[in-house]
Structure 1
Amino acid sequence: MKKEELFERIKGKVIVSCQAVPGEPLYVEEKSIMYLMARAAKQAGTPAIRTSSIRDVVAIKEETGLPVIGLVKIKYDGFESYITPTMKEVDDLVAAGSDVIALDCTDQKRGDGKSISEFITEVRTKYPEAVLMADISTYEEGIRAWKLGMDIVGTTMSGYTSYSPKLDGPDFELVKKLSSELDIPVIGEGRVHSPEQAVQMLDAGAFAVVVGGAITRPLEIAQRFIKAVEAR
């Protein structure tokens, strides 16, 4: 799918994140079951899916036929970043047919000694036609990713780096600042717990909004209800 067609498809819409990593209730070691979540998301009308791991990228594309924002969550010694942190994961995602490849583009420590600018440049040089999404946590990181040629900036990591604001809900201010200055899509992502917050993300200027935990993580959803009831 061409980049322009993809952007037209997702503009103003909710992209559903369907992810389960080892240790989570919906992670099944024997095989991916995230395609079932993606099936439901497609029936609900989402134009695209965001998912983690090669097996889930493959299974979801086969099940839904929808474009997929792919990433690989993995921890390496010496790395604070864990979203598609090295070229190996990029290579695997390209081979799996990811329509968009999401990278951690924060200032978190990289164990290979490379700066994030060097890594982005390497990825763009090797895959000049790939659609690349920068997962960032601050305004400065978003501006840098844009200048380095990333195609999409997402506020995914806001609140998940040691130096970004810790908020209970979405970082609307970051979305507003970036969307007013960048000429590429800014996707609002992170702690979108309700339909109202998804609308607020778009009202703040987001090109599209990613919703994950509020839809596809039953443990988080159940905990939210139980916590509210127990606190009354």
Structure 2
Amino acid sequence: MTNDYSINTLKKGLIVSCQAPVSSPLNEPIIIAAMAQAAVNNGAVGVRIDTPLHISAVRERVKVPIIGLWKQIIPGYDVYITPQFHHAAAVAQAGANIIAIDATTRHRPGNETVVEIISRIHHELGKPVMADVDTIEAAKAAAIAGADIVGTTLYGYTAKTNNDSPPSWELLTQMVQELDSPVICEGGVSSPQMARHALDLGAYAVVVGNAITGIDLQVKNYRRAMQNQA
């Protein structure tokens, strides 16, 4: 593991994921950067940002830690959050303080293991790693592999968990009890009360995305609910 001030500054705080669907008019660097700055201005201790272009734009506007990632759809593979080392290198170059990777047990492109990519990020990029996982088994493996932070990010989004809806308080509790690494609650947190509950269960910090910055999804949800009741 690497020791980094950016992890310490996240403790007990809110991290806002500032992202937008590729098809959304919000998916512009200047807009994502404005979202990030608004979040920080109102107390967010960090932001989670996708793509080097957006990370660079956000870096110019905020001084808090950026958890950076690069979503890549690679045919034949389900892993899509910073799937390979060269994606991590681009994220680091863009200005991210912490690199988020998919650390599930799924097969990775290029036959690169979680152990290998974490080691290379530590030694070649000098950055701490946030391991996004879906199960307690993946969480333990990521911690053993050297992940500096482990997050519940992918619970509900993999074949092993796609019948479940995040957040999983049970998984969070297991991770807090069984890991020495800081555990971040991410996924499905949709109210301030839920964020508080995650901290009460022992989460090191909480990531909230769609409930704060997901305008596209929120409007769709309102529209569907209103149409169903019409």
Matched, 1:204 2:201: yes
Is 1:225–2:222 an aligned residue pair? Answer: yes
Q: How does 1:16-165 map to 2 (within 5 A)?
A: 16-28=16-28, 31-127=29-125, 129-164=126-161
> What's the offset of the Cα at 1:3?
4.0
The AA in structure 1 aligned to 2:210 is G
Partner secondary structure for residue 193 of structure 2: helix
CA–CA distance in 2 between the matches of 1:58 and 1:43?
18
Please tell me whether the aligned partners of residues 134 and 155 of structure 2 are also in contact (alpha carbons under 8 angstroms): yes
| Secondary structure of 2:88's aligned partner | helix
Aligned residues: CA RMSD: 1.9
Identity of aligned residues (%): 36
Deviations 1:65-113 (A, max 9, x none): 2210000011122221111001111111121221000011112232323
Equivalence for 2:188: 191
1:178 counterpart residue number: 175
1:170·1:189 contact (CA, 8 Å) conserved in 2?
Answer: yes
**Structure 2: gaps of 5 or more residues:** none
Mark the CA change 1:124 to 1:66 in structure 2 (over 3 Å): closer, same or farther: closer
- CA displacement at 1:201 relative to structure 2: 1.2
Q: Is the 8 A contact 2:152 2:184 kept in 1?
A: yes
Q: Distance in 2 between matches of 1:65 and 1:113?
A: 35
TM, length-normalised to structure 1: 0.90
Which residue does 1:9 correspond to in 2?
Answer: 9
Question: 2:19, 2:161 → 1: CA distance?
Answer: 23
Q: Using structure 2 for the length normalisation, give the TM-score.
A: 0.91
Change (3 A) 1:231 1:169: farther
Q: How far apart, in 1, do the equivalents of 2:206 and 2:106 lie?
A: 24
Dislocated runs of 4+, deviation >4 Å: none
- Cα shift at 1:165: 5.3
In structure 1, list runs of 5 or more residues that go unmatched.
Answer: none
The amino acid across from 2:9 in the alignment is R
Q: Is the 8 A contact 2:103 2:131 kept in 1?
A: yes
| Matching residue's letter, 1:175 | L
Count of residues in Structure 1 that have an aligned counterpart in Structure 2: 228
